[in-house]
Amino acid sequence: MSRPPRTSKPFKACTKCKALVRIEDEQCPICGSKEFTFEWSGIVIVIDPSKSKVAKALGITKPGRYALKLGV
């Protein structure tokens, strides 16, 4: 995947699980996918998925930073 323009967001989103990862990362630490997009919006940070109603509603099972929407 090519590098984003300088003005883009500081993270890229995994297209499989929506986890936000550093641009230099080549593999998603949450699901292991290697498919990413720079087209995302909204952020949710989940600390304890087992106690989070938001995490349950979004299908998030691991702590982390996630995009709310892909393909803006």
The CATH number assigned to the domain holding 61 equals: 2.20.28.90
Rounded to whole angstroms, how far apart are CA atoms 67 and 44?
6
In a domain, 2, yes or no: no
Q: How many residues are listed for the chain in this entry?
A: 72
pLDDT in tens, 1-21: 556 555 467 899 999 999 999
Which residue range is the domain that position 55 belongs to?
A: 11-70
The count of domains in the chain is 1
Q: Which two tokens stand for residue 68?
A: 């709310």
Average pLDDT across the chain, whole number: 91
| 28 pLDDT above the threshold of 70 | yes
In a domain, 3, yes or no: no
Q: What is the pTM of this model?
A: 0.85
In a domain, 4, yes or no: no
Rounded to whole angstroms, how far apart are CA atoms 26 and 33?
9
